[in-house]
Structures are given as structure tokens and as C-alpha cells.
Amino acid sequence: MSVKKLKPITPGQRFRIVNSFKEITKTIPCKILTKGKSSSGGRNNTGKMTVRYIGKGHKRKYRIIDFKRDKREIFAVVKSIEYDPNRSAFISLLHYYDGEKRYIIAQNGLKVGQKIISGKSVLPEIGNATFLSEIPLGTIISCIEVKPGKGAKIARSAGSYAQISDRDNKYAIIKLPSGKTKILLATCMATIGSVSNSDHQLEISGKAGRNRWLGRRPRTRAVAMNPVDHAMGGGEGKASGGHPRSRKGILSKGYKTTRKVDRISNKYIKRK
């Protein structure tokens, strides 16, 4: 992973920091693993805007990703590392020995031509997927299931990862980079290695138009609104706002929020 700073030959490039995309080996996606994707523009089924500041943007095609890794005990060869417009991480195209093709989230360090496998009793090498009960303690993992067979839910975005810290009978204890410790069933699947494109957080758009290409519309400052529109709206001149708060008046930036006491998954969080 690497980023590059562009020469400021235009105002939009003065502060622009882009991904070099050195890991990308193919630009055209696999046709049988793509399908059309329609954008909602933040509207619901009746046409009412329910999410603000969403709309337009470049047309995208959805890549069908294998989050379950349920094709087990069959080796696959990494044919390409590709860009996916629907996520921050890169994806890789697998060719299985039986002829099937699938996309997976690419791990950091995954190379074209590398052989990977998913299943039980596999080596803890980058790209291999196995059960939490089979992974050695201290291993860096990603694409982790919360419920067995439901597919990866944790650590799927660029550069994210977790670490197995302990095991207790049928449970495995994983530690997230935030310091949060979570208890999961040891029969859940996970992939060895951290997610690719870890330098994604260093990118800078450089201009407002680039955000429009991504489907993000301009956000209106809350203090510039009227009192009927936002809790921080109104006032004379700039004498408005007060403590930062949400549209419904809930304080932020220092207001302590608590997790619901009766939430079912509370018992699976060992340390917050």
C-alpha cells in the first residue's frame, strides 16, 4: 500500500493525496460475478427523502463477494487484485480447482498466483479462512463471523483487523483495535491477515466535486438552519448554536452515552 501527492497544477490537486493502486492487477471485473446496482438518492419506497445529503454520483456495478467462505477443502488460486467501488478495501478474484470463480475481500499481502483454502485444520497463512477454534492465539484476523454460517460481519473495511487473545471452552475472545474485547463462538469463521488498502485513511479528496462523484451531497451546517429545522438553528447573527447536539437535541462532543442495559449481546462483550 502506498499513496502519492499530486503536483499542484490545478487548485483541486493542491492538497490531493491519492492511492497509487500499485496492488491492482486488473481493471475489468468478472462479468458473471457482477450485477446492476440502483441508487436510492436517500428516498424510500414512497419517494420521501429519509436520508439527507445523498444523491447523484457515478454509476456503479455491484461485485458479489463471498463473505461465508463456505467452499471448503478445495484450493483456489488468486487470479487478480481488483478495485471495488462499493467498499474501501480491495477484492481478489479466486479460481477454484473445480472451475468456480468467486470474489473475496483481499487481505494485506495477498499475491496473485497464491494458493488459499478455507476449512478445518488449514495452515494459518494470509488469505486462508478457518474456524476460530483452529487459529493460534495472537493471530491477526479479519472478516469475522458473529454467528456461525451467517457470513463475515466484523473487520471488513480497509486496514481493519482483530486479534485472538484467548479461548474458553466453546468460545473465543477477540480483541479489536479500539480495545474492545468480544466473545464469539469458536465455530465462527475468520480469515487470516488484516484487510488490504490500509492507507485508505490517508487519502484526501482535494475538492468538493470528488465527493459528488461518490454520491455525497453538500451538508448544511446546523447553526445556519432555522430553529424549526435543527436544535442548533436560529439566533441573531452568529449568536446561535450552543453545545453541539443532534437534530433531535441529543448532546454530542462530551455527552456520555450508555449502551442499553437489556441488550442481548451485552453478555458477549467482556471489556468495553
Q: Measured in Å, how far apart are the chain's first and last C-alpha atoms? A: 31
pLDDT at 1: 58
Fold observed for domain 3-201: OB fold (Dihydrolipoamide Acetyltransferase, E2P) (2.40.50)
pLDDT tens track for 201-252: 999 999 999 999 999 999 999 989 999 999 998 888 887 778 888 888 888 8
pLDDT tens track for 31-55: 999 999 999 999 999 999 999 999 9
Could you state, in order of their start, the residue ranges of all structural domains in the chain? 3-201, 226-272
Q: Tell me the torsion sign for CA atoms 78, 87, 29, 130.
A: positive
Q: How many CB atoms lie within 10 A of CB 266?
A: 11
